[in-house]
Amino acid sequence: MITYNAENYDVAVIGGGHAGVEAALVAARLSAKTVMFTVTMDWIGNLPCNPSIGGTAKGHLVRELDALGGEMGRAADKNTIQSRMLNRGKGPAVHSLRAQIDRRNYSAYMKHAVELQQGLDVKQAEVIAVERDGQYWAVTTKLGAKYRVKAVVLATGTFLGGKIYVGEVNYNSGPDGLAPSVELVDSLKALGLPLRRFKTGTPARVDRASIDFSKLEIQHGDSEITPFSFSTDPETIDNSGVCHIAYTNSETERVIRENLDRSPLYAGEIEGVGPRYCPSIEDKIVRFADKKRHLLFIEPCGSETEELYLQGMSSSLPEEVQIKFYRTIEGLENVKIMRNAYAIEYDCIDPLCLSYTLEINGHDGLYGAGQFNGSSGYEEAAVQGFVAGANAALKIKGKEPLVFSRTNSYIGTLIDDLVTKGCSDPYRMMTSRSEYRLLLRQDNADERLMPTGRALGLINDTDWARFLKRKEQKEREIERLRATTIAPDESLNAYLESVGTAPMTTGIRLAELIKRPQLSYDALAPWDKERPELTIDVREKIETEIKYEGYIARQQAAVDEMLRLEKKLIPSEIDYSAVGGLRLEAVEKLTKVRPKSIGQASRISGVSPADLSVLIIYLEKNKNGGK
């Protein structure tokens, strides 16, 4: 192949999806000369699966990303068509924002954002090789352009070795019928990267006019909106869109079971491992055979399209079978498929070879992000892109790396899980993955991470001033509630009894009333004459910090203990086989992961508390390098 020397850059980002966009933007914003390669300029920031941003724990990631100065939160707010806070009936730790998104407008927003970003060039090109070139990396495109760069971020999504499956039909392709990245696979294998195959899938998109909505449950958005971005005015968000709910039935199950032999997954044609927490409808029918029905959300793909998305009904069955089983659902008897469901198989890396900066061990300046790292989901991809892009730029500038901990963020939890525990199937973030989820709520993401974003120079003066104002409002109001005593009142006592809590016989501080499980900060507003006008975000912080004060203190103590263990560093050159008393399994796992600290070692599957004790004693006796 004839090549020519093209322009040189500091950072090259391969991929224009959610990981690639955030990586490219943050690298450029940190003054690194950056280039982003995408297979098509028309689908930058594409939502190839569900037309939504956020969800359980995923909403936390978006708000954390926004607090750091990322783009996804602002883009989502700008293109929302329905906003809902999930898990309102549960504790504040699991409240998670989710929004239906106009997918074409979202993509257009992100395309324009990268086009406008100073210091960032965007190129439509397929990268076919990434190779070491002395102190640099050489990135070569299919047209023969060779770019020398100091760092590379691999954000290939599901394009790398992408293969589509629909029943007995399969062919090389990326999502949405776009071209896959095939030749790059061989180049990455030549580097010795530990690649493997994963798979995911997506449901059909159907014609709105072919659905009988009178037979479906309607689902509206929230009356009071919480934006993803701390800089967004809630009044500017469109929340007029509606979703609908339908259910599978015994006939749906019958059709699917009778055609399981035509599913490439059950026929053994798909090598890749699928997502455990987002199974196809055929997987649900088989794995949850005791369930009489499965939930189906019918969601709009945009405000100017008639396509609707069938959330919860992904499939790789043949097209004619898809038509048949979709039409067994009440309200979908005459449904017309506009885009069929499919499964997609792709190559990704074993994340155990990554460091906390998302740099690939043994490959200086080569980073991974998003589904390339074995994760699933737009939100997981975006935060990894931010971390990888930021660290690539910081390393080039000779600055300290950006590393997150599971004690301060869901971002840290996600990365720690990937690099310490690895994943046997596409990783999905959930609130249950965090030991400290009461501290890592989405409402306080700004307090946890915005100072970091500000220190990086990614938070402007206006947003920083708003943050300081919110923080001051919260602290002042909590102080007032703890100091203000409210006297017994006939109407208040009537209300207290109506909600099942004891009436007042003497004055009580407002903070103590709020702590009662039957009461809330907002519910006491009619009797609180000095209550200031605050946003829903600030009000939620106030209530949570008062109501869960004891639990928060307990969890903070656990964090302090974890931080103590994280400070017990393990020398990088330690020979675990020389540590007497370690079990063989622990030696193998520790040698593979190479944990940086006792804290990280404690989270490795197969390393027991007894192994940790042996290791700590060994390190204490060998403080001069662990030998």
C-alpha–C-alpha distance, residues 314 and 201, integer Å: 6
Q: Would you give the end-to-end CA distance of the chain in angstroms?
A: 50
CA 493 to chain centre: 45
363 part of a folded domain: no
Residues 514 and 592 reside in one and the same domain: no
C-alpha angle 395/397/399, rounded to 5°? 65
- Which of 280, 308, 343 is the C-terminal boundary of a domain? 343
CATH assignment at residue 315: 2.40.30.260
C-alpha–C-alpha distance, residues 156 and 531, integer Å: 51
- Which of 310, 343, 376 is the C-terminal boundary of a domain? 343
Residues 518 and 579 reside in one and the same domain: no
90 part of a folded domain: no
| Contact assessment for residue 445 and residue 66, using Cβ atoms and an 8 Å cutoff | yes
3-state secondary structure at position 74: helix
| Contact assessment for residue 456 and residue 30, using Cβ atoms and an 8 Å cutoff | yes
Residues 280 and 334 reside in one and the same domain: yes
What pLDDT, on the 0 to 100 scale, is given for residue 277?
66
Question: Mind spelling out the 3-state secondary structure of 510-547?
Answer: HHHHHCCCCCCCCCCHHHCCCCCCCCHHHHHHHHHHHH
Residues 498 and 594 reside in one and the same domain: no
124 part of a folded domain: no
C-alpha–C-alpha distance, residues 220 and 300, integer Å: 12
Number of domains in the chain: 3
Burial class (CB in 10 A: 0-12, 13-18, 19+), 429: buried
CATH assignment at residue 531: 1.10.10.1800
Sign of CA pseudo-dihedral 192, 193, 197, 202: negative
37 part of a folded domain: no
Residue 384's closest CA among 411, 366, 360, 406? 411
Residue 130's closest CA among 185, 195, 194, 196? 185
β-strands 120-124, 96-101 pairing: unpaired
468 part of a folded domain: yes
CA 342 to chain centre: 22
3-state secondary structure at position 433: helix
Structure tokens at 539: 């009000």
CATH assignment at residue 602: 1.10.150.570
In sequence order, which residues have a C-beta less than 8 Å from that of residue 326 and are 6 or more positions away? 204, 206, 310, 313, 332, 335, 337
DSSP state of 55: -
18 part of a folded domain: no
DSSP state of 281: H
469 part of a folded domain: yes
Question: Mind spelling out the 3-state secondary structure of 545-604?
Answer: HHHCHHHHHHHHHHHHHHHHHHCCECCCCCCHHHCCCCCHHHHHHHHHHCCCEHHHHCCC
C-alpha–C-alpha distance, residues 281 and 260, integer Å: 11
Regions in the chain scoring below 70 on pLDDT:
277, 624-627
Residues 289 and 332 reside in one and the same domain: yes
Residues 485 and 571 reside in one and the same domain: no
Structure tokens at 195: 């690649």
Residues 320 and 211 reside in one and the same domain: yes
Residues 213 and 337 reside in one and the same domain: yes
Determine the structural domain holding residue 243 and report its residue range.
205-343
Q: Please write the tens of the pLDDT for every residue from 612-621.
A: 999 999 998 8
Q: Please write the tens of the pLDDT for every residue from 253-286.
A: 999 999 999 988 777 777 778 777 678 899 899 8
Per DSSP, helices labelled H in 360-460 are 378-396, 410-416, 445-456
Residues 493 and 597 reside in one and the same domain: no
- Which of 313, 343, 373 is the C-terminal boundary of a domain? 343
C-alpha–C-alpha distance, residues 494 and 73, integer Å: 43
What pLDDT, on the 0 to 100 scale, is given for residue 624?
55
Structure tokens at 399: 């600055």
3-state secondary structure at position 483: helix
Residues 263 and 318 reside in one and the same domain: yes
What pLDDT, on the 0 to 100 scale, is given for residue 626?
41
393 part of a folded domain: no
User: 282-316: b or e for each residue (b if 16 or more CB lie within 10 Å)?
Assistant: bbbbbeeeeeeebebbbbbbbeeeebbbbbbbbbb
Burial class (CB in 10 A: 0-12, 13-18, 19+), 328: middle
| Contact assessment for residue 36 and residue 114, using Cβ atoms and an 8 Å cutoff | yes
C-alpha–C-alpha distance, residues 421 and 434, integer Å: 14
Neighbours of 447 (CB within 10 A): 15
| Contact assessment for residue 325 and residue 312, using Cβ atoms and an 8 Å cutoff | no
In sequence order, which residues have a C-beta less than 8 Å from that of residue 186 and are 6 or more positions away? none
Neighbours of 552 (CB within 10 A): 17
Residues 505 and 598 reside in one and the same domain: no
In sequence order, which residues have a C-beta less than 8 Å from that of residue 548 and are 6 or more positions away? 91, 92, 438
Residues 609 and 584 reside in one and the same domain: yes
Structure tokens at 594: 């190479």
| Contact assessment for residue 581 and residue 614, using Cβ atoms and an 8 Å cutoff | yes
C-alpha–C-alpha distance, residues 438 and 417, integer Å: 19
pTM of structure: 0.94
